């Protein structure tokens, strides 16, 4: 499973019955930061994946 396939309910801090254990995300959530709403700049995952992997804006190649 890649990051662009994971929904907010897949993190174990948001769903006690999630089969995916996310200890690092759980730690961040317990410290008070939760990302519950995200948007993509494109209808396909390629630009979003590029932005997540590089930290750069996908439209400023």
pLDDT of residue 61: 56
Q: What Å distances lie between residue 56 and 7, 19, 31, 36, 48, CA to CA?
A: 22, 32, 26, 22, 10
pLDDT of residue 4: 60
| Inside any domain, residue 59 | no
| Inside any domain, residue 61 | no
The parent domain of residue 24 ranges over 3-54
Q: Say which residues have a Cβ less than 8 Å from residue 52's Cβ, sequence separation at least 6.
A: 3, 4
Question: With contact defined as beta carbons under 8 Å apart, do 1 and 20 qualify?
Answer: yes
Work out how many domains the chain is built from and give that number. Answer: 1
| Inside any domain, residue 60 | no
The pair of three-digit structure tokens given for residue 22, joined into one six-digit string: 């996310």
Q: Each residue of 37-55: pLDDT tens digit?
A: 777 667 777 787 788 788 8
């Amino acid at each position: 499973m890649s990051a662009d396939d994971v929904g907010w309910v897949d993190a174990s801090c948001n769903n006690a019955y999630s089969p995916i254990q996310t200890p690092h995300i759980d730690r961040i959530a317990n410290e008070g930061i939760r990302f519950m709403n995200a948007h993509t700049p494109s209808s396909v995952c390629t630009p979003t994946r590029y932005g997540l992997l590089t930290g750069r804006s996908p439209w400023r190649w």
